[in-house]
């Protein structure tokens, strides 16, 4: 199989470094570039060395335009505004994208889907195989259990995470709401305070905890008067997300357009 040439954005960040190492260590992938802003800690450094591997000869740069012609795909874990700007350039250049950024507005989500008419895009709030399976299990459980089972979601992340609830928690809530035919915007509760916070019949609670260096934990509870069912996933290393993102990039080979999720990548 021909090696896929990949650009990593957000190269100086925790996910960026893991993404770089995954690409460098995979026989079917080739690091075509590493992108980050000039103010980033890794700017100008050798991408391999910065990721904790031997030097690879690729410097972390801010010049995406120069690298686009030599790549096949881009793996992007950055910020919503940066991802949108990246997609504009990638669409013009005809380069496929894997988007792991979370916290998009609805307008930005719509733009991503529109862009997928020109290039192939895999977008996921979480690239782990376990979370992809958990989403399916939550959907099945919410469908099988009647509304006497209340649904509550708790997500835990490190104290530097910017968005809350996490994109993965929102995806889990959407999976449950879809199974029960509910409008998530109307039924989701992200906080309870005061003397009049009795739970409504179809409410889906989503609670975010932030502390320390927790990589990511998600628990979905189905609670009746007689029993509690808990479906849980814990990430032990960020590398699980990087491996999934690389698999997504490999999945996009020979695809010219379309919007895909990890369900498509894993065939579930």
Three-state SS annotation for the chain: CCCEEEEEECCCCHHHHHHHHHHHHCCCEEEEEEECCCCCCCCCCEHHHHCCCCCCCCEEECCHHHHHHHCCEEEECCCHHHHHHHHHHHHHHCCEEEECCCCCCHHHHHHHHHHCCCCEEEECCCCCHHHHHHHHHHHHHHHHCCCCCEEEEEEEECCCCCCCCCHHHHHHHHHHHHHHCCCHHHHEECCCCCCCCCCCCCCEEEEEEECCCCCCEEEEEEECCCCEEEEEEECCCCHHHHHHHHHHHHHCCCCCCEEECHHHHHCC
Among 79, 75, 69, smallest CA distance to 37 is for: 79
The per-residue pLDDT for 85 is 96
Q: Let me know if the fold of 2-125+236-264 is the same as that of 145-222.
A: no
CA–CA dist 219, 206 (Å, integer): 10
The per-residue pLDDT for 195 is 87
Its pTM stands at: 0.81
Name the architecture of domain 2-125+236-264. Answer: 3-Layer(aba) Sandwich (3.40)
The per-residue pLDDT for 1 is 63
Which positions are annotated as active-site residues? 157, 161
The per-residue pLDDT for 268 is 79
- Let me know how long the chain is: 268
| Region 145-222: CATH code | 3.30.360.10
CA–CA dist 247, 260 (Å, integer): 13
What is the chain's pLDDT, residue by residue, as a tens digit (268 residues)? 689 999 999 999 989 999 999 999 999 999 999 999 999 999 999 999 999 999 999 999 999 999 999 999 999 999 999 999 999 999 999 999 999 998 899 999 999 999 999 999 999 988 999 999 999 999 999 999 999 999 999 999 999 998 899 999 999 999 999 999 999 999 999 999 988 889 999 999 999 999 999 999 999 999 999 999 999 999 999 899 999 999 999 999 999 999 999 999 998 7
Sketch the domain layout of the chain as residue ranges.
Answer: 2-125+236-264, 145-222
To 10 degrees, what angle do helices 129-144 and 239-251 make? 90
């Amino acid at each position: 199989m021909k090696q896929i040439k990949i650009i990593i954005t957000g190269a100086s960040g925790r996910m960026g470094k893991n993404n770089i190492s995954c690409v460098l260590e995979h026989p079917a992938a080739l690091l075509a570039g590493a992108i980050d802003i000039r103010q980033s800690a890794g700017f100008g450094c050798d991408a391999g060395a910065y990721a904790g591997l031997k030097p690879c000869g690729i410097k972390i740069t801010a010049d995406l335009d120069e690298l686009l012609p030599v790549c096949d795909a881009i793996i992007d874990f950055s910020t919503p505004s940066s991802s949108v700007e990246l997609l504009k350039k990638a669409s013009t250049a005809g380069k496929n994208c894997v988007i792991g950024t979370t916290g998009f507005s609805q307008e930005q989500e719509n733009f991503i889907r529109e862009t997928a008419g020109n290039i192939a895009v895999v977008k996921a709030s979480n690239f782990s195989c376990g979370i992809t399976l958990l989403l399916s299990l939550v959907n099945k459980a919410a469908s099988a259990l009647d509304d006497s089972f209340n649904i509550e979601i708790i997500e835990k992340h490190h104290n530097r995470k910017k968005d809350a609830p996490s994109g993965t928690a929102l995806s889990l809530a959407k999976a449950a709401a879809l199974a029960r035919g509910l409008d998530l915007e109307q039924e989701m509760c992200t906080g309870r305070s005061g003397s009049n916070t009795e739970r409504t019949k179809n409410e889906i609670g989503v609670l975010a905890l932030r502390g320390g260096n927790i990589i990511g934990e998600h628990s979905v509870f189905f609670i009746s008067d007689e029993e509690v069912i808990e479906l849980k996933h814990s990430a032990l290393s960020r590398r699980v997300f990087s491996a999934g993102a690389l698999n997504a990039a490999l999945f996009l080979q020979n695809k010219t357009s379309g919007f895909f999720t990890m369900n498509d990548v894993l065939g579930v």
